[in-house]
Amino acid sequence: MTDIADKDWSRSEGDSWDIVSSVGFTALGVAAARAVENRQTEPLVRDPYAEHFVRAAGEPNLIGLLDSPEPQAPNPGTTPRHIGLRSRFFDEFFVNATNSGCGQAVILAAGLDVRAHRLPWPEGTKVFELDQPQVLEFKDRVLAEHGAAPTSDRREIAVDLRDDWPAALLAAGFDPDVPTAWSAEGLIIYLPSAAQDLLFERVVALSAPGSQVAVEATRGRPDIAKWGAMQKKYADESHPMSKVDITSLFYDEERADVAEWFAARGWTVQGADALELAATYGVEIPELPEDVIEVVKQGNYVTAILPS
Ligand code: SAM
Protein backbone atom coordinates (compact mmCIF):
# COMPACT_ATOMS: atom_id res chain seq x y z
CA MET A 1 0.00 0.00 0.00
CA THR A 2 1.45 3.38 -1.02
CA ASP A 3 2.04 5.57 2.02
CA ILE A 4 -0.41 8.48 2.14
CA ALA A 5 2.47 10.96 2.13
CA ASP A 6 3.37 9.71 -1.39
CA LYS A 7 -0.16 9.52 -2.80
CA ASP A 8 -1.50 11.65 -5.61
CA TRP A 9 -4.40 13.68 -4.20
CA SER A 10 -5.22 15.51 -7.42
CA ARG A 11 -8.72 15.24 -8.89
CA SER A 12 -10.06 14.69 -12.39
CA GLU A 13 -13.44 14.50 -14.10
CA GLY A 14 -15.19 11.18 -13.37
CA ASP A 15 -12.44 9.97 -11.01
CA SER A 16 -13.19 7.05 -8.69
CA TRP A 17 -11.58 5.64 -5.57
CA ASP A 18 -11.45 2.85 -3.03
CA ILE A 19 -11.45 3.28 0.73
CA VAL A 20 -7.72 4.00 1.03
CA SER A 21 -7.31 6.43 -1.86
CA SER A 22 -8.34 9.95 -2.85
CA VAL A 23 -11.74 11.00 -1.45
CA GLY A 24 -12.32 7.44 -0.20
CA PHE A 25 -9.51 7.92 2.29
CA THR A 26 -11.35 10.87 3.82
CA ALA A 27 -14.31 8.58 4.61
CA LEU A 28 -11.90 6.30 6.46
CA GLY A 29 -10.30 9.30 8.19
CA VAL A 30 -13.71 10.44 9.41
CA ALA A 31 -14.41 6.91 10.70
CA ALA A 32 -11.10 7.05 12.60
CA ALA A 33 -12.13 10.38 14.12
CA ARG A 34 -15.46 8.88 15.21
CA ALA A 35 -13.60 5.93 16.74
CA VAL A 36 -11.48 8.41 18.71
CA GLU A 37 -14.58 10.39 19.74
CA ASN A 38 -16.07 7.12 21.05
CA ARG A 39 -13.36 7.14 23.70
CA GLN A 40 -14.35 10.48 25.21
CA THR A 41 -15.95 10.27 28.64
CA GLU A 42 -19.10 11.74 27.16
CA PRO A 43 -18.87 11.05 23.42
CA LEU A 44 -20.81 13.22 21.00
CA VAL A 45 -21.35 10.16 18.84
CA ARG A 46 -21.35 6.46 19.69
CA ASP A 47 -20.34 4.55 16.60
CA PRO A 48 -19.78 0.83 17.25
CA TYR A 49 -18.37 0.12 13.78
CA ALA A 50 -15.95 3.01 13.23
CA GLU A 51 -12.96 1.21 14.69
CA HIS A 52 -13.80 -2.01 12.80
CA PHE A 53 -13.69 -0.10 9.50
CA VAL A 54 -10.30 1.41 10.24
CA ARG A 55 -8.76 -1.90 11.29
CA ALA A 56 -10.30 -3.77 8.33
CA ALA A 57 -8.92 -1.27 5.81
CA GLY A 58 -5.42 -1.96 7.13
CA GLU A 59 -4.17 1.57 6.42
CA PRO A 60 -1.22 1.83 8.83
CA ASN A 61 -1.36 5.59 9.48
CA LEU A 62 -4.98 5.51 10.61
CA ILE A 63 -4.49 2.33 12.61
CA GLY A 64 -1.60 4.17 14.29
CA LEU A 65 -3.98 6.95 15.17
CA LEU A 66 -6.27 4.48 16.95
CA ASP A 67 -3.38 2.91 18.78
CA SER A 68 -1.80 6.18 19.89
CA PRO A 69 -2.73 6.88 23.49
CA GLU A 70 -3.62 10.53 22.93
CA PRO A 71 -4.38 11.19 19.27
CA GLN A 72 -4.07 14.86 18.39
CA ALA A 73 -6.29 16.88 16.08
CA PRO A 74 -4.61 17.22 12.65
CA ASN A 75 -4.35 20.94 13.20
CA PRO A 76 -6.34 23.55 15.06
CA GLY A 77 -7.80 24.66 11.71
CA THR A 78 -10.49 22.21 12.60
CA THR A 79 -12.14 22.67 15.95
CA PRO A 80 -11.10 20.07 18.50
CA ARG A 81 -13.74 17.32 18.51
CA HIS A 82 -15.18 18.76 15.30
CA ILE A 83 -16.13 15.35 13.84
CA GLY A 84 -18.02 14.62 17.06
CA LEU A 85 -19.82 17.96 16.80
CA ARG A 86 -20.57 17.41 13.13
CA SER A 87 -21.88 13.87 13.74
CA ARG A 88 -24.10 15.06 16.55
CA PHE A 89 -25.50 17.84 14.34
CA PHE A 90 -26.51 15.39 11.58
CA ASP A 91 -27.76 12.79 14.09
CA GLU A 92 -30.08 15.35 15.68
CA PHE A 93 -31.18 16.56 12.26
CA PHE A 94 -32.27 13.08 11.17
CA VAL A 95 -33.97 12.20 14.46
CA ASN A 96 -35.90 15.48 14.49
CA ALA A 97 -36.79 15.43 10.79
CA THR A 98 -38.03 11.83 10.76
CA ASN A 99 -40.06 12.44 13.92
CA SER A 100 -41.70 15.48 12.36
CA GLY A 101 -43.03 14.07 9.13
CA CYS A 102 -40.10 12.99 6.94
CA GLY A 103 -40.82 9.35 6.08
CA GLN A 104 -37.56 8.68 4.26
CA ALA A 105 -33.94 9.80 4.53
CA VAL A 106 -31.27 10.19 1.86
CA ILE A 107 -27.64 10.30 2.93
CA LEU A 108 -25.67 11.78 0.04
CA ALA A 109 -22.05 10.54 0.22
CA ALA A 110 -22.71 8.20 3.14
CA GLY A 111 -19.13 6.95 3.31
CA LEU A 112 -18.72 4.82 6.45
CA ASP A 113 -21.55 6.57 8.25
CA VAL A 114 -23.66 3.93 10.04
CA ARG A 115 -26.67 6.04 10.97
CA ALA A 116 -28.89 3.51 9.20
CA HIS A 117 -27.69 1.04 11.84
CA ARG A 118 -27.48 3.16 14.95
CA LEU A 119 -30.18 5.88 15.01
CA PRO A 120 -33.63 5.27 16.51
CA TRP A 121 -35.54 5.66 13.22
CA PRO A 122 -39.34 5.64 13.32
CA GLU A 123 -40.65 2.21 12.27
CA GLY A 124 -40.41 1.66 8.51
CA THR A 125 -38.21 4.66 7.68
CA LYS A 126 -36.38 4.08 4.41
CA VAL A 127 -32.75 5.23 4.59
CA PHE A 128 -30.97 5.53 1.26
CA GLU A 129 -27.17 5.62 1.32
CA LEU A 130 -25.43 6.93 -1.78
CA ASP A 131 -21.70 6.70 -2.42
CA GLN A 132 -19.19 5.29 -4.87
CA PRO A 133 -19.29 1.50 -5.46
CA GLN A 134 -15.96 0.54 -3.89
CA VAL A 135 -16.69 2.55 -0.75
CA LEU A 136 -20.05 0.80 -0.25
CA GLU A 137 -18.61 -2.64 -1.08
CA PHE A 138 -15.98 -2.21 1.63
CA LYS A 139 -18.57 -0.94 4.10
CA ASP A 140 -20.91 -3.87 3.44
CA ARG A 141 -18.17 -6.43 3.82
CA VAL A 142 -17.16 -5.08 7.25
CA LEU A 143 -20.74 -4.69 8.45
CA ALA A 144 -21.50 -8.28 7.37
CA GLU A 145 -18.38 -9.57 9.14
CA HIS A 146 -19.69 -8.02 12.35
CA GLY A 147 -23.30 -9.17 11.89
CA ALA A 148 -24.58 -5.58 11.83
CA ALA A 149 -28.36 -5.22 11.62
CA PRO A 150 -29.88 -1.91 10.46
CA THR A 151 -32.41 -0.03 12.61
CA SER A 152 -34.05 1.24 9.41
CA ASP A 153 -35.14 -0.01 6.01
CA ARG A 154 -31.65 0.58 4.60
CA ARG A 155 -31.08 0.77 0.85
CA GLU A 156 -27.68 1.32 -0.69
CA ILE A 157 -27.12 3.00 -4.00
CA ALA A 158 -23.69 2.66 -5.55
CA VAL A 159 -23.42 5.69 -7.77
CA ASP A 160 -21.31 8.72 -8.53
CA LEU A 161 -23.04 11.88 -7.35
CA ARG A 162 -21.92 13.68 -10.51
CA ASP A 163 -23.97 11.13 -12.52
CA ASP A 164 -27.73 10.53 -12.78
CA TRP A 165 -28.29 9.47 -9.17
CA PRO A 166 -32.00 10.49 -9.08
CA ALA A 167 -32.82 7.67 -11.52
CA ALA A 168 -30.99 5.18 -9.29
CA LEU A 169 -32.72 6.58 -6.20
CA LEU A 170 -36.18 6.25 -7.74
CA ALA A 171 -35.36 2.72 -8.92
CA ALA A 172 -34.41 1.83 -5.32
CA GLY A 173 -37.87 2.78 -4.02
CA PHE A 174 -37.57 6.49 -3.21
CA ASP A 175 -41.00 8.16 -3.24
CA PRO A 176 -40.89 11.83 -4.33
CA ASP A 177 -44.36 12.40 -2.81
CA VAL A 178 -43.11 11.62 0.71
CA PRO A 179 -41.27 14.39 2.63
CA THR A 180 -37.57 13.55 2.80
CA ALA A 181 -34.68 14.29 5.16
CA TRP A 182 -31.54 14.83 3.06
CA SER A 183 -27.96 15.20 4.22
CA ALA A 184 -24.69 16.25 2.60
CA GLU A 185 -22.03 15.82 5.29
CA GLY A 186 -18.40 16.24 4.23
CA LEU A 187 -19.39 16.29 0.59
CA ILE A 188 -19.68 19.54 -1.31
CA ILE A 189 -16.04 20.56 -1.10
CA TYR A 190 -15.25 17.39 -3.11
CA LEU A 191 -17.60 18.48 -5.90
CA PRO A 192 -16.94 21.08 -8.57
CA SER A 193 -19.16 24.12 -8.16
CA ALA A 194 -21.41 23.17 -11.12
CA ALA A 195 -21.87 19.66 -9.67
CA GLN A 196 -22.87 21.20 -6.33
CA ASP A 197 -25.55 23.29 -8.06
CA LEU A 198 -26.83 20.29 -10.00
CA LEU A 199 -26.87 18.15 -6.83
CA PHE A 200 -29.07 20.63 -4.98
CA GLU A 201 -31.29 21.31 -7.99
CA ARG A 202 -32.00 17.57 -8.05
CA VAL A 203 -32.63 17.53 -4.29
CA VAL A 204 -35.16 20.35 -4.70
CA ALA A 205 -36.83 18.61 -7.67
CA LEU A 206 -37.28 15.43 -5.61
CA SER A 207 -38.47 17.16 -2.41
CA ALA A 208 -42.12 17.03 -1.39
CA PRO A 209 -43.34 19.91 0.84
CA GLY A 210 -42.12 19.37 4.42
CA SER A 211 -38.77 17.99 3.24
CA GLN A 212 -35.63 19.04 5.09
CA VAL A 213 -31.97 19.20 4.20
CA ALA A 214 -28.80 19.45 6.30
CA VAL A 215 -25.51 20.45 4.70
CA GLU A 216 -21.98 20.99 5.90
CA ALA A 217 -21.10 24.17 4.04
CA THR A 218 -19.24 27.44 4.36
CA ARG A 219 -20.32 31.05 4.57
CA GLY A 220 -19.26 32.38 1.20
CA ARG A 221 -16.45 30.89 -0.86
CA PRO A 222 -14.28 28.44 1.10
CA ASP A 223 -10.75 29.81 1.29
CA ILE A 224 -8.88 26.60 0.38
CA ALA A 225 -5.50 28.31 0.08
CA LYS A 226 -5.89 29.64 3.60
CA TRP A 227 -7.01 26.23 4.90
CA GLY A 228 -3.91 24.71 3.30
CA ALA A 229 -1.69 27.35 4.90
CA MET A 230 -3.30 26.69 8.28
CA GLN A 231 -2.83 22.97 7.81
CA LYS A 232 0.91 23.60 7.33
CA LYS A 233 1.20 26.22 10.08
CA TYR A 234 -0.38 24.10 12.80
CA ALA A 235 0.35 20.61 11.46
CA ASP A 236 0.98 17.80 13.87
CA GLU A 237 3.13 15.73 11.50
CA SER A 238 2.31 12.55 13.38
CA HIS A 239 -1.37 12.88 12.45
CA PRO A 240 -2.30 11.05 9.22
CA MET A 241 -4.76 13.69 8.05
CA SER A 242 -1.96 16.28 8.02
CA LYS A 243 -0.45 14.29 5.10
CA VAL A 244 -3.54 14.70 2.92
CA ASP A 245 -3.06 17.48 0.38
CA ILE A 246 -6.39 19.25 0.78
CA THR A 247 -5.43 21.94 -1.73
CA SER A 248 -5.51 19.21 -4.43
CA LEU A 249 -8.39 17.12 -3.09
CA PHE A 250 -10.88 19.98 -2.58
CA TYR A 251 -12.32 21.97 -5.48
CA ASP A 252 -11.13 25.53 -5.09
CA GLU A 253 -13.85 27.32 -7.03
CA GLU A 254 -16.30 30.14 -6.61
CA ARG A 255 -19.46 28.32 -5.47
CA ALA A 256 -22.96 29.09 -4.30
CA ASP A 257 -23.48 29.88 -0.63
CA VAL A 258 -25.71 26.94 0.37
CA ALA A 259 -27.77 28.88 2.94
CA GLU A 260 -28.49 31.68 0.46
CA TRP A 261 -29.16 29.17 -2.33
CA PHE A 262 -31.91 27.34 -0.41
CA ALA A 263 -33.35 30.57 1.04
CA ALA A 264 -33.70 31.96 -2.50
CA ARG A 265 -35.83 28.92 -3.37
CA GLY A 266 -38.28 29.44 -0.51
CA TRP A 267 -36.74 27.09 2.05
CA THR A 268 -36.53 28.24 5.68
CA VAL A 269 -32.85 28.26 6.53
CA GLN A 270 -30.74 28.20 9.68
CA GLY A 271 -26.98 27.98 10.11
CA ALA A 272 -24.40 27.51 12.86
CA ASP A 273 -20.62 27.23 12.96
CA ALA A 274 -18.78 24.57 14.95
CA LEU A 275 -18.21 26.88 17.93
CA GLU A 276 -21.93 27.58 18.08
CA LEU A 277 -22.63 23.83 17.88
CA ALA A 278 -20.16 23.26 20.74
CA ALA A 279 -22.01 25.85 22.86
CA THR A 280 -25.36 24.21 22.04
CA TYR A 281 -24.08 20.74 22.99
CA GLY A 282 -22.28 22.00 26.12
CA VAL A 283 -18.81 21.05 24.84
CA GLU A 284 -15.93 23.11 26.14
CA ILE A 285 -13.44 24.04 23.41
CA PRO A 286 -9.97 25.14 24.49
CA GLU A 287 -8.99 28.70 23.61
CA LEU A 288 -8.03 28.90 19.93
CA PRO A 289 -5.72 31.32 18.07
CA GLU A 290 -7.46 34.20 16.27
CA ASP A 291 -6.61 32.91 12.77
CA VAL A 292 -8.05 29.51 13.67
CA ILE A 293 -11.26 31.05 14.97
CA GLU A 294 -11.58 32.98 11.72
CA VAL A 295 -11.43 29.74 9.69
CA VAL A 296 -13.78 27.85 12.02
CA LYS A 297 -16.33 30.65 11.74
CA GLN A 298 -16.34 30.24 7.95
CA GLY A 299 -17.97 26.85 8.45
CA ASN A 300 -21.74 26.68 8.31
CA TYR A 301 -23.90 23.75 9.35
CA VAL A 302 -27.03 24.55 7.41
CA THR A 303 -30.54 23.19 7.83
CA ALA A 304 -33.28 24.13 5.40
CA ILE A 305 -36.96 23.20 5.48
CA LEU A 306 -39.39 23.35 2.57
CA PRO A 307 -42.63 24.65 4.12
CA SER A 308 -45.60 22.26 3.89
N1 SAM B 1 -20.60 11.59 4.99
C2 SAM B 1 -19.63 10.62 5.42
C3 SAM B 1 -19.18 10.89 6.84
O4 SAM B 1 -19.28 12.05 7.27
O5 SAM B 1 -18.72 9.97 7.49
C6 SAM B 1 -18.42 10.55 4.49
C7 SAM B 1 -17.66 11.84 4.35
S8 SAM B 1 -16.13 11.64 3.46
C9 SAM B 1 -15.30 13.08 4.01
C10 SAM B 1 -16.56 12.07 1.79
C11 SAM B 1 -17.41 11.02 1.12
O12 SAM B 1 -17.94 11.61 -0.07
C13 SAM B 1 -16.68 9.76 0.69
O14 SAM B 1 -17.34 8.63 1.18
C15 SAM B 1 -16.72 9.82 -0.82
O16 SAM B 1 -16.71 8.55 -1.44
C17 SAM B 1 -17.99 10.60 -1.05
N18 SAM B 1 -18.04 11.30 -2.33
C19 SAM B 1 -17.38 12.42 -2.69
N20 SAM B 1 -17.62 12.73 -3.97
C21 SAM B 1 -18.47 11.78 -4.44
C22 SAM B 1 -19.09 11.53 -5.69
N23 SAM B 1 -18.87 12.33 -6.73
N24 SAM B 1 -19.90 10.47 -5.81
C25 SAM B 1 -20.14 9.64 -4.75
N26 SAM B 1 -19.57 9.82 -3.54
C27 SAM B 1 -18.76 10.87 -3.39
Across the range 265-286, mean pLDDT stands at: 95
Question: Nearest CA to 214 among 246, 190, 180?
Answer: 180
Q: Is 162 in the pocket of ligand 1 (CB under 6 A)?
A: yes
- Residues 13, 228: contact at Cβ < 8 Å? no
Taking CA atoms only, the protein residue closest to ligand 1 atom 17 is 109
Which numbered atom of ligand 1 lies nearest the CA of 160?
Answer: 24
Predicted confidence (pLDDT) per residue in 145-154, tens digit: 999 999 999 9
At residue 186, does pLDDT exceed 90?
yes
**What pLDDT sits at residue 229?**
86
User: Looking at the chain, which runs of residues are DSSP E strands?
Assistant: 104-108, 126-131, 153-158, 180-184, 212-218, 268-272, 299-305
* Nearest atom, ligand 1, residue 184 CA: 1
Show Cβ contacts of residue 53 under 8 Å, excluding neighbours closer than 6 positions. Answer: 19, 28, 31, 112, 138, 139, 142
Residue nearest to atom 16 of ligand 1 (CA): 24
Helix (H, G, I), strand (E, B) or coil at 270: strand
Superfamily of domain 82-222+246-306 in CATH is Vaccinia Virus protein VP39 (3.40.50.150)
User: What pLDDT is recorded for position 99?
Assistant: 97
For residue 23, the ligand 1 atom closest to its alpha carbon is 15
Work out the average pLDDT over 195-216: 98
Assess whether pLDDT exceeds 80 at residue 80. no
pTM score, whole prediction: 0.96
| pLDDT at res. 69 | 62
**CA–CA dist 109, 272 (Å, integer):** 21
Query: Average of pLDDT values for 172-199?
Result: 97
Q: How far, in Å, from the CA of 132 to the mean position of ligand 1? A: 8
What 3-state DSSP class applies to 251?
Answer: coil
Evaluate if residue 256 carries a pLDDT over 90: yes
Residue 24 Cβ inside 6 Å of ligand 1? The answer reads: yes
Q: Is 215 in the pocket of ligand 1 (CB under 6 A)?
A: no
Instruction: Tell me: pLDDT of 255 over 80.
Output: yes
